[in-house]
Structure 1
C-alpha cells in the first residue's frame, strides 16, 4: 500500500496575517527565513532560489492573495527532481489581531518520494525559522549556522527532532 498523504504542518505565529503574508511573498521576507531569492512573489510571478546548485529552484506563484493564501508550483528543481510539479501552499488564518495560524501543505511531497523524510525535517526547520523571524526578528534560513548544523546532523543519519 502506498501513501498519498502530502506533507502538512500547522504553525501558530505571533504576527498579524499581513506581516506573515509579506514574509511569504517578498524577496526580503523569504531570505530572512528560507533562502535568498530573485523574482516576484506576486500572483503570476516567478521566484528563483539558489541553494548551492548551479541552477536555481524555480517556483511559479499561482496565487498570492493578501493576507490569506499563497500557492506555488515547482517548475524546476535540479537537486530534487521529484519536486517538479509539486505545489507548496500556505493558508493563513487570523487568530485575534496579532496572531496567525499558518497551514503549510506541500502537495505532492508524500511518503512515495525518496526525499520525504529529509524534506519533511527541512520544512519543519524552515517553519520554525519563519516563526522565529516573525516573533524574534531573525530566522535560520538556508546557509545560516543553525541550518548548517541541521544539515550536518542529517548527513550523519540522525535526526535533531
Structure 2
C-alpha cells in the first residue's frame, strides 16, 4: 500500500489566476530569502532558512496546476540532509462556489521520513496561515527562522531557531533567547543558557539559538529546562 504524502486543502476567496500569481511570489508567503524566480515553467529558485536551503525547478505551470520539483537541498537539522531530493510540491486548483480550492501535496514527504512530523507542522503554518493570509488579505508571514519546539515538565513550548550568525527580523516584542545545544529535527533537546533577548543574538555557544515569546513564568521554566538538559 502506498504511503500517504503530506496534503492540505485551502479554500480561498480569489480566482485561480490570482492564486497562481500569489503562490509564484515565493517571498510573499514562504521564505524571506529567495534566489531566482518561480513565475514561469522552467524557472528555478532557492529558499534559504539559515544553513537550510532547498532548490526547486518549476516543472509544470498551467491554468490549474503548479509543480515544483526539488533539484537539490541541504536540510541541516536532519541526519539525511538530502531527504527532500526527488520530491515535488504540487498545487492543484479547482473552482467551487465562487471560490478557489487549492490542494497542496508534498509528494515524497511520507510518514517514514525523518522530518515528516516536524515538516508537517511547518507546512501547516506556511499553507494554512501564511499562504492563506497572503491570498485573502495580502498579508503573508514569510519566514527566516525554522519553527521549533521543546518539552519541559509535560508542557510544549514553541518558537523559532536561527543560526548563530543570523539576525532575527521576524520576531519582535518581549522575547527570550535560548542558546541551543542539541536538536532532533525541530525539537530542541538541550540548551546552554536562557536570557532575555535584547535585539541581538550575541555569541551563543551553539550553532543555533531559539527565540520564544515571553510569558509569565516562562523564564523559570526554560531555566529548569537548561538545568535538566545541561548534562546531555
TM-score, normalised via structure 2 length: 0.58
Whole-angstrom distance in 2 between the partners of 1:85 and 1:57? 11
Structure 2: tracts of 5 or more residues without a match: 76-80, 159-232
TM-score, normalised via structure 1 length: 0.82
Structure 1: tracts of 5 or more residues without a match: none
The equivalent of 1:74 in structure 2 is 70
Task: Give the structure with the larger strand fraction.
Answer: 2
Q: After TM superposition, give the deviation of residue 95 of structure 1 in Å.
A: 2.2
Aligned positions of 1:8-87 closer than 5 A: 8-25=7-24, 29-35=25-31, 36-41=33-38, 42-53=40-51, 56-66=53-63, 68-79=64-75, 80-87=81-88
Task: Give the structure with the larger helix fraction.
Answer: 1
* Higher mean C-alpha displacement, 102-111 vs 13-22: 13-22
Q: After TM superposition, give the deviation of residue 38 of structure 1 in Å.
A: 2.4
Whole-angstrom distance in 1 between the partners of 2:23 and 2:62? 11
| Alignment check: 8 A CA contact 1:3 1:112 kept | no
Q: Choose between structure 1 and 2 for higher RCO, CA contacts under 8 A separated by at least 6 residues.
A: 1
| Alignment check: 8 A CA contact 1:34 1:129 kept | yes
